[in-house]
Structure 1
Amino acid sequence: MKSSIGVGLIGTGYMGKCHALAWNGVKAVFGDGPRPRLVHLAEVNRDIARQKADEFGFGKATGDWRELIADPDVDVVSVTTPNAFHAEMAMAALEAGKHVWCEKPMAVALADAERMAAAASASGKVAVLGYNYIQNPLIRQIGAILADGTIGTVNHVRLEMDEDFMADPEALLYWKSEASSGYGALDDFGVHPLSLLQVLLGPVTKVFAHLSKPYADRPTKEGTRRAVETFDTASVLFEMGAGISGVMALNRSAWGRKGRIALQIFGSKGTVVYDQERMNELQLYVASDRPTEQGFRTILAAPQHAPYDRFIPAPGHGLGFNDLKIIECHELLKAIGGESARVIDFSTGLVIEKVVHAMYESHRRGAWVVLE
């Protein structure tokens, strides 16, 4: 593998900055693998691109993302634009022989997600999606708890994802309320808990969903009001293999919730509980404990929960969201290097996309939908 790798970044919003921080930090944190060279940055115009390139440390700047993809010095492209642009940009990068790190969801339309997966397969390049919550050392620990049978046979799962960035009915309408962004909470939110299910327990096989709009319209900056086209809440029943039932609730309008992904996994011998708002701890209940000692115990993230130790040598200090992005970046580089890596590639991402679209179809039909 080359000693360095050329990076291109398309988009410099919230997730674009997260990718830039990850590319800047991955070598310092992990020490191994190629050193990222921040080669080229693209934004909506050259002035913004130049400003952000200077801030993030990229050498070149362009207002045309196609120019970035054509750059022979770029080996891997981070796609962090709004959802509607993912498919075209990711496929163009793959066709140009670049590796791709694309933010979730894959695409607005299922057909586009299928085309992306096919393009990745045909290219022979690494193409992964931005599901950094699966990288949390404590999510890995939950996987170990399930694998060693500590809570027995899993029979039920409950998932909630809530934030309040769309809770104010008078907040201005923006692209996440437009149909061009997708269904709403399902693909903006639901893909994250579904990614946890995918890595911990496998695919969802059957769904029944109901979607709703807490607010019918929102004000615009022009002083008018426009109809909200996406669904900010979703309630879903689902089934998985091996007789596992589940419930998932999503809400982008939940006052007081800031970054909640609550996961409860119930088994024949115990229960494990996790909440993203307290991402450095999990709760474990083991039924085999003596009755006088039964109760949920708190497990704090520590150096024993790799790769926490790459960041902090002491337990209880805690990692953050951007640290998970650095871990994800390292896993991407491992995949590019031909090593086994903990990533959700476009093939597995397509499985998640099919679940999301099945949920919408269930809502539309008012019936259970069975996945292939």
Structure 2
Amino acid sequence: MIGVGLIGSGFMGKCHAMAWNAVHLAFGDTPAIRLVHLGEANADLAERRAGEFGFAKASGDWRAVIADPEIDVVSLTTPNQFHPEMAVAALETGKHLWCEKPMAPSFAEAQAMADAARKSGKVAVLGYNYIQSPAIRHIRTLLDEGVIGTVNHLRIEMDEDFMADPDAPFFWKHEAASGYGALDDFAVHPLSLIQNLFGRVASVMCDMARPYPDRQTDSGSRRPVETYDIASSLIHLENGVSGTLLVNRSAWGRKGRIALQIFGSKGSILFDQERFNEVQLYVTSDRPTEQGYRTILSGPPHEPYGRFIPAPGHGLGFNDLKTIECHELIAAIEGRPANVIGFDEGLEIERTVHAMARSFEERRWVEVRG
């Protein structure tokens, strides 16, 4: 039996709750899951969400969740400026931790979280669910098998349009306390894919942009926007591969795009998150008369797709990836091999983000570990 606590019940809190409810049904090899205690900003909201999500208890104080002796693992889904205090407290109380990305607004806070995880001896993983996609896992297999030869260049983009409207009101993601903006809100996801597929980033050259300098508040006044909705970076990986990383939260028409292009000596691989269950593969070993991109459609041969749907072409979705991630977390807790990004690996992503921000401020190439 695994006792679960949840802090935060917004979009990602609900995703975690759905994953905890679905993981045993999907995989069948996990211990029984008990949803013990939900914490929110106030008791009324906590009671309402606990009833909706299936938690036995509710509190308007996150500390009560962490202190609950019936809880083995805490899901932390609050805005990232609250992560450091909550994460360290959970680990020091002896709980395993599933924390949404990014780790924290500052590198020092992220480092303190990683230090607490190592000291606790508990499992602490971050919510980088895109690495769990059967399509991404198959791309990793293709790379490991050398299907496109030696990789020499990659391009990765992440775009959404939830901040594209200049008349949309100011909210917490426009505050400097939340971080840099698209760089740590968005770029961490492409960086998780880069780290999972290729390893660490060595050096960066970054630029950031703020398309709308101010936004209207609830009182009707204008407030300066303190974060950057656009970031563009040149990157060099430690393995010698060059690349570009482009992110934009103000890209009209883009809803959930993570576009990955990988170029090798014998072919290339394309993936677009908006075509979630497809991979495009080009190989020079085809006859010249048939060379071209082929579409690989995800299906049961691409694990763990078959845990959800027995037929190809029906497609998985975002919440299925959270369920897969939940299963990997449980494997890590049980001491089995797991495809997760722990706090130490996550700290390398944070290190890269802060190197990019420093590059922007200093207008130069920056060594990530320099």
TM-score, with length taken from structure 1? 0.99
Which whole-Å CA distance do the structure 1 matches of 2:244 and 2:282 have between them? 20
Residue aligning to 2:284: 287
Residue aligning to 2:95: 98
Identical counterparts, % of pairs = 66
Residue aligning to 1:200: 197
| Residues 280, 294 of structure 2: 8 Å contact kept | yes
- Select 1:167's aligned residue among 140, 144, 164: 164
Q: Quick check: 241-250 or 4-13, which moved more? A: 241-250
SS of the aligned residue for 1:6 comes to: strand
Residue aligning to 1:297: 294
- Select 1:350's aligned residue among 343, 347, 350: 347
Residue aligning to 1:7: 4
- How far 1:256 sits from its partner (Å)? 0.2
- How far 1:241 sits from its partner (Å)? 2.3
Which whole-Å CA distance do the structure 2 matches of 1:334 and 1:16 have between them? 21
Residue aligning to 1:130: 127
| Residues 283-316 of structure 1: CA deviation (Å, up to 9, x unaligned) | 0000111000100000000000000000000001
How many aligned positions are there?
A: 369
| Residues 154-197 of structure 1: CA deviation (Å, up to 9, x unaligned) | 00000100000000001000000100100000000000000000
- Select 2:114's aligned residue among 96, 112, 117: 117
- How far 1:113 sits from its partner (Å)? 0.4
| Residues 199, 239 of structure 2: 8 Å contact kept | no
Which whole-Å CA distance do the structure 2 matches of 1:301 and 1:260 have between them? 18
SS of the aligned residue for 1:243 comes to: coil
- How far 1:39 sits from its partner (Å)? 0.1
- How far 1:254 sits from its partner (Å)? 0.2
Which whole-Å CA distance do the structure 1 matches of 2:151 and 2:280 have between them? 16
Which whole-Å CA distance do the structure 1 matches of 2:190 and 2:223 have between them? 30
4+ aligned runs moved over 6 Å, structure 1 = none
SS of the aligned residue for 2:218 comes to: coil
- How far 1:242 sits from its partner (Å)? 2.9
Q: Aligned partner of 1:253: which letter?
A: S
SS of the aligned residue for 1:49 comes to: helix
Q: Aligned partner of 2:270: which letter?
A: V
Which whole-Å CA distance do the structure 2 matches of 1:190 and 1:160 have between them? 8
Which whole-Å CA distance do the structure 2 matches of 1:63 and 1:284 have between them? 50
- Select 1:35's aligned residue among 32, 35, 39: 32
- How far 1:33 sits from its partner (Å)? 1.6
Residue aligning to 2:139: 142
Residue aligning to 1:253: 250
- How far 1:243 sits from its partner (Å)? 2.1
Which whole-Å CA distance do the structure 1 matches of 2:239 and 2:8 have between them? 41
| Residues 23, 323 of structure 2: 8 Å contact kept | yes
Which whole-Å CA distance do the structure 2 matches of 1:252 and 1:45 have between them? 30
Which whole-Å CA distance do the structure 2 matches of 1:241 and 1:156 have between them? 13
Which whole-Å CA distance do the structure 2 matches of 1:354 and 1:42 have between them? 30
Residue aligning to 1:18: 15
Q: Does residue 1:364 correspond to 2:361, yes or no?
A: yes
Counterpart mapping for 1:36-75 below 5 A: 36-75=33-72
Provide structure 2 residue ranges, at least 5 long, that are not aligned to the other structure: none
Provide structure 1 residue ranges, at least 5 long, that are not aligned to the other structure: none
| Residues 24-58 of structure 1: CA deviation (Å, up to 9, x unaligned) | 00000000121110000000011100000000000
Q: Aligned partner of 1:354: which letter?
A: R
Q: Does residue 1:269 correspond to 2:266, yes or no?
A: yes
Q: Aligned partner of 1:307: which letter?
A: P
Residue aligning to 1:278: 275
Residue aligning to 1:329: 326
Which whole-Å CA distance do the structure 1 matches of 2:22 and 2:201 have between them? 35
SS of the aligned residue for 1:299 comes to: strand
Q: Aligned partner of 1:194: which letter?
A: L
Question: Root-mean-square deviation (CA), in Å?
Answer: 0.5
TM-score, with length taken from structure 2? 0.99
Residue aligning to 2:237: 240
Which whole-Å CA distance do the structure 1 matches of 2:319 and 2:220 have between them? 36
Which whole-Å CA distance do the structure 2 matches of 1:198 and 1:327 have between them? 19
Which whole-Å CA distance do the structure 2 matches of 1:184 and 1:248 have between them? 15
SS of the aligned residue for 1:242 comes to: coil
